[in-house]
Structure 1
Amino acid sequence: MSGRTVSSAILILVLGSFFATLCDVFIKMADVDVTIFQFTFFRAVFMCLFLFPIAVHKYLSSDKSTATLGLKLHFIRGNMWVLAGVLLTISLAELPLATANAVFYTAPIFIMLFGAFFYKERLSIDVLLAAILGFIGILVILRPTEITFSMISAILFAIVLAVNSLLIKKLPQEQSMLYGLFVTQMFALPMVSILAFWEGEVFDLGNIMFAALSSVCSILYSVSCLIGYRYVESSKVTSAEYSGLIFAFLLGWWIFGETPDLGVFIGSLFVILPLLYLSHRDIRRLRKEQLLSNTRSNLGAG
């Protein structure tokens, strides 16, 4: 699976979505009712440990001047990762796996909205309609007769994830993605260490295994995105990531005995279908542009 063809890139991204869902499973399996900051600390530590040899290899095999690029941005993203990690843990502790993941998949909607605000990207009627339907989907999925902290956490996690994703555009292109991820996690350690100390709970060694496994899955997901989007146009393969919602339904049912009701399915359709339409629309637009370009080239050659 080289990721050089559309089919192989899609398969890699589907595997990545599986690892992302598996990461959520391990977080949900941990008993973190009162040790949320501690668990997030363990995850950051293991991320650094697993990425360290990769980061050293990238540092030794690349231009040393790139190692210190984007430190301010890595610092911001590292502390946002802490916030996202805490919100993710809180939401998964109470919400069913499929319900939480359905809300998480609204992140692309926030990316489009924030992209229009921060990067002056064009905000079409289709995008606005997708956003409205996505928010309707959230209401259908959560059916908030009462507002709980886990519901708010799931929505806030999607928002923080969207902002962090937009910041990737500003990362230095000369720098390896995995090296940058290591630096980001290093910057996350001071803040999450302070929070874990402030939490004041006795270290729960039973959660270390789940923190390590979730960290491995996070790295594997990052690697899959790095390969899956490297050689092909993102609009052609990004819909493959929505397979994670299927994995959430299946793993939630198999491991936790959760049976999603009709509302979760309907709400998920409100979230996913408009995004799939936008992705399909972009593919058609790119094909037309490519066809027009080829036609002009042939006319010029004639």
Structure 2
Amino acid sequence: MSGKTINSAILLLIIGNALALISDVFIKFLEEGAPVFQYALMRCVITLLVLLPFWRQINTSKPFEGAGLHFVRGHVHLVGIICMVYALIALPLATANAVFYVAPILVMVLSVIFFGERLTRLSLAAVISGFAGILVILRPVDFSWAALGALGSAAALAINAVLVRKLPRQQSTAHKLFLNYLMILPLCLALALWEGAVWSNAVFISAVGSSVFILAYNVCVLLAYKHVDANQVTSAEYTGLIWAVIIGWLFFAEVPDLWFLAGSAMIVAPLLMIGLQQRRIRLRATNHELGDTRYHAAPAVAETDAVKQSADARKM
């Protein structure tokens, strides 16, 4: 699977989202009361070790360019990891992932606040429907710290996706990830020492498994978006919710109820409609360009900021 065609790119995203869900499963197998800060430290160290083979992609002439923003993003990311662990341990797998999918909606809101972007009618409908969908899934009567954790994780994903626009454009994904985890290493160590938990093999296995499978997910995403325009295949990302339902049912006997199905539809359906709308706009633009190739060469498909955000901040 090269990802050079739309079908192969979609297949890569479907496989990638399945791998991301396996990463969540490693976390969900942890027992309630597991040392979360120890997990965060292990996840940080393991990810840095996994990134070492990619050291050639780090710009050694400017290794700490944008350090202040990397520091902020890293610590937002750390909060997101901790929130995600609490959410996945306590909530059904599909419920937690449905709430995680509100991150793109939060990105829209934050883009309006910080960049003055305007929401289309469809985007505004997606925001309203998405937040209503959260209420339907979680329901105020069932609200808990785990639910707040899922929302906190989605908020962290959204904040990092917005802040990535301000990072140096020439930095590779490996460089960004390396600085991200390097910046939070001291706090992770301090929190783990403060937690004072004894070494846990279960936490170590969870950290290794989740790190490896998230890396595999990121590789699939990069390959999928390398040759194909993002808006042509990005809807395949939402198959992650289907995988969450299937894996939750097989491994944890979790059967989604009507509240979950209705709320998930309210979150995902408007996002899919936006993706289809962008695809139609792109196709019209492409047809216009092809009609003008007699005088101008058709532009090549490039890696967009949305691609970088997806690979850099889609999952914790």
TM-score, scaled to structure 2: 0.88
Q: For the structure 1 residues 145 and 4, does the alpha-carbon distance in structure 2 shift closer, same or farther, using more than 3 Å as the test? A: same
272, 277, 300: which one pairs with 1:276?
272
- 1:32 is displaced (CA, Å) by 5.0
Per-residue deviation at 1:227? 2.1
1:194 to 169, 174, 190: 190
Give the ranges of 4+ consecutive aligned residues of structure 1 lying more than 6 Å apart after TM superposition: none
Task: Give the corresponding residue for 1:159.
Answer: 155
Cα distance, 1:168 vs. partner? 2.1
In structure 2, which of residues 255, 264, 269 is the aligned counterpart of residue 259 of structure 1? 255
How much has 1:15 moved relative to structure 2?
1.6
Q: Post-superposition shift, 1:299? A: 8.3
Residues 102-121 of structure 1 correspond to what in structure 2 (within 5 A)? 102-121=98-117
Is the Cα–Cα contact under 8 Å of residues 32 and 90 in structure 2 kept in the other structure?
no
Deviation of 1:296 (Å):
4.5
Match for residue 38 of structure 1?
A: 38
Compute the RMSD of aligned alpha carbons.
1.9
Q: Which amino acid aligns with 2:223?
A: I
Distance 1:126 1:229, change over 3 A: same
1:222 to 212, 218, 236: 218
Q: Give 1:7's aligned amino acid.
A: N
Q: 1:135 aligns with which of 106, 131, 135?
A: 131
Q: Distance in 1 between matches of 2:63 and 2:225?
A: 23
Distance 1:235 1:192 in 2: 36
Partner amino acid for 1:116?
A: V
Residues 83-136 of structure 1 deviation map (CA, whole Å, 9 limit, x = unaligned): 010000011111000011111111111111111222222211111111111111
Give the 5 Å matches for 1:1-302: 1-55=1-55, 57-59=56-58, 64-298=60-294
Aligned to 1:220, what secondary structure does the other structure show? helix
Q: What secondary structure, in the 3-state scheme, does the structure 2 residue paired with 1:174 have?
A: coil
User: How many correspondences in the alignment?
Assistant: 297
1:67 touches 1:175 (CA, 8 Å); kept in 2?
A: no
Q: Which blocks of at least 5 consecutive residues in structure 2 are unaligned?
A: 298-316
Unaligned runs of 5+ in 1: none
Counterpart residue type for residue 225 of structure 2: Y
Structure 1 residues 85-94 or 132-141, which shifts more? Answer: 132-141
